[in-house]
Amino acid sequence: MPIPEPRPAARGSSQRHWAAGSAREQIRRRNFPEVELRTHEGKRVRLYEDLVRDKIVVLNFFYATCQGICVPLTSNLVRVQQLFGERMGRDIFFCSFTLKPELDSVPVLGRYARRFQAGPGWSFLTGEPRALELCRRRLGFTSPDPVLDADKLNHTGMVRFGNEPLTLWSACPGLGSAASLAHSILSVDWYGRRSGAPTACPPT
């Protein structure tokens, strides 16, 4: 996910004008559209305000009937979830967005979450098809080839993760070892590293 460089405020401008041009605000406007989604528990949530703001987040796309990369990727995220332990749902959150909202209703996603034993802090998300497609494009889960991009079977196995308040964002393959993936995600946890807080797993 490209991270815009902050623009310095004009001399004498107000703090409000600086905030509007900050890197954090630019990223919010560029990458997190104002859309309403539904979780697998039926909750109505806003992408930025409810799911991303002030959190360390891990983002991926999937669909419930996928028999390809989605199953091993979700299984790997389950292992990462276990490594994070009590930090899940406290300051680390997973957001899995469906690629097929027309099929993946709230009950379908609820069964999917139970199948993989997803715990607190992990939301499987559906909603209006236009809203999910806008999320996919703004979050950067696209292919430059329009033919490949239109084929749901070719969706990426990448995960994006970031520390929203610190504007630290990155991505990595989702099918590496769970310990390696967890270590990559924790690389954006600067406050935890500075304070000496225990990490979820050792580096590999």
What Cα–Cα distance (Å) separates residue 17 from each residue in 4, 9, 13, 25, 49?
A: 17, 7, 6, 11, 21
Within 8 A by CB and 6+ apart from 139, the residues are: 1, 31, 32, 59, 97, 160
Task: Please return the burial class of 147, using the count of CB atoms within 10 Å of its CB with bins 0-12, 13-18 and 19+.
Answer: exposed
Q: Left (φ > 0), alpha (ψ -120 to 50) or beta: where does 140 sit?
A: left
Instruction: Look at residue 155 and tell me whether its pLDDT is greater than 90.
Output: no
Q: What does the pLDDT average to over 163-186?
A: 95
* 23, part of any domain: no
172 pLDDT band, cuts 50/70/90, is very high
Are 132 and 126 within 8 A, CB to CB?
A: yes
* 7, part of any domain: no
CA separation for the pair 36, 44 (Å, rounded): 7
197 pLDDT band, cuts 50/70/90, is very low
* 160, part of any domain: yes
Residue span of the structural domain in which 101 resides: 34-195
* 73, part of any domain: yes
What Cα–Cα distance (Å) separates residue 64 from each residue in 23, 28, 47, 67, 123?
A: 35, 28, 20, 9, 14
Instruction: Look at residue 159 and tell me whether its pLDDT is greater than 60.
Output: yes
Phi, then psi, of 27 in degrees rounded to 5: -65, -45
Phi, then psi, of 60 in degrees rounded to 5: -150, 165
CA separation for the pair 197, 204 (Å, rounded): 18
Phi, then psi, of 62 in degrees rounded to 5: -160, 180
* 161, part of any domain: yes
Q: The domain spanning residue 148 has which CATH number?
A: 3.40.30.10
The tokens describing 37, both together, are 């989604």
* 129, part of any domain: yes
Phi, then psi, of 132 in degrees rounded to 5: -70, -35
* 155, part of any domain: yes
| Mean pLDDT lowest among 25-39, 120-134, 186-200 | 186-200
Instruction: Look at residue 92 and tell me whether its pLDDT is greater than 80.
Output: yes
Q: Which residue has the tokens 């859309």?
A: 35
Count of domains forming the chain = 1
Are 47 and 39 within 8 A, CB to CB?
A: no
Handedness of CA 185, 190, 196, 197 (dihedral sign): negative
Mean per-residue pLDDT of the chain: 86
